[in-house]
Amino acid sequence: MKRVLRTCAVSLGLCAAMLAGSAAQAQTPPVKDPVALYAKGKAAVEKGDFQGALAALEPSYAALPSPNTLLLVAHAKRGLGRKVDAAREYERVAADADAKIKAGEARYQATLQEAKKWIETLATELGQVNLRIAHAPDSATVSINGEKVKALRDGEHLTVSTFWVLPGHVEIKVEGEGKTKDASADVTAGGKADLNIDLAPPPVAPVPKAPTPEPDTGSKKIPMGFWIAGGAGVAGLAVFGIFGAMAKSDYDELQTCSPRCAESERSTADSGKTKQTVANIGLVVGGVGLATAAGILLFAPKKPSNQPTVGMSLGPGAVTVQGRF
């Protein structure tokens, strides 16, 4: 410091620069040795001081990444009850150690086995969520229980695989390009929830057209009873006409011998009476049938004009059925 003061007497500008450099050097903390931090953190894990272990191990891993350091970080988080974080760290350890073993560093074999053992253990205590998201843009964001999750592109889908969660109810939200989709699931300890989410909007259902009221033309719908009663009436009148004519023929034949006819004409008289009786019955049946049909037609409900219509008319020696379709 005395040397600095002497230099200040010679050059004020040089003095200021050197004093600033000395102050900056005094304020900069010395860089800690990541190996020493690793040793300190390992000792803290063995003592059960998991918070102190993280304070040493995390900066050690940041300065010198190693699967062995990360394994101790996972142990410390598990000791603090942060099982979800620990499971994720164990997975990172397994991936890093496996890559180094394949690169020829066999010393990480024990680290890999230790990480796999704890992954299997925590898998029985935690749940997992797997997502498959259709119609999602690359910019889509995925949140599980409020935590942002990285989704990977798999062809036309985005996927989230083996996301560790605490057992219980899980809320999922997917957002992208103005579209949002919410989903949920209940996950048990040791269980998995596999969800398929489609970010495409639901198809718009066509609006059904209101039925067009049919105009009332004043025509009536002819019930089946009309045809039955009308048919009976026509048949009755036909019987009346036929047997009435036959009875009239017998009557005319007996008129030739009236007032006193031979005994041989008795059968003709009896036959004429029978035919007259049948004719009268046919007349009654025909009258009742036609009257009934007329009543049914009179009180029948109206029908729309576009419905088929059927009518019947009586003619000499024929019954005519007419229809419009």
Q: CB atoms < 10 A from the CB of 314, how many?
A: 13
d(CA 23, CA 242): 141
Q: Which residue has the higher pLDDT, 241 or 194?
A: 194
d(CA 150, CA 224): 73
Write phi, then psi, for 144 (nearest 5 degrees): -125, 120
Q: Binning pLDDT at 50, 70 and 90, where does residue 301 land?
A: low
**Do the beta carbons of residue 150 and residue 139 sit within 8 Å?**
no
d(CA 81, CA 74): 11
Sheet holding 147-149, edge to edge: 147-149, 141-144, 168-176, 179-187
Region of poorest pLDDT, from 202-206, 233-237, 315-319? 315-319
Average pLDDT over residues 61-77: 96
- Per-range mean pLDDT, top range of 24-28, 145-149, 154-158, 168-172: 168-172
d(CA 281, CA 95): 107
Average pLDDT over residues 142-155: 89
Residue 169 pLDDT > 80, yes or no?
yes
pLDDT digit string, tens, across residues 238-291: 766 787 677 667 666 656 666 666 666 666 666 767 867 876 786 777 677 667
Residue type, 194: D
Write phi, then psi, for 283 (nearest 5 degrees): -65, -40
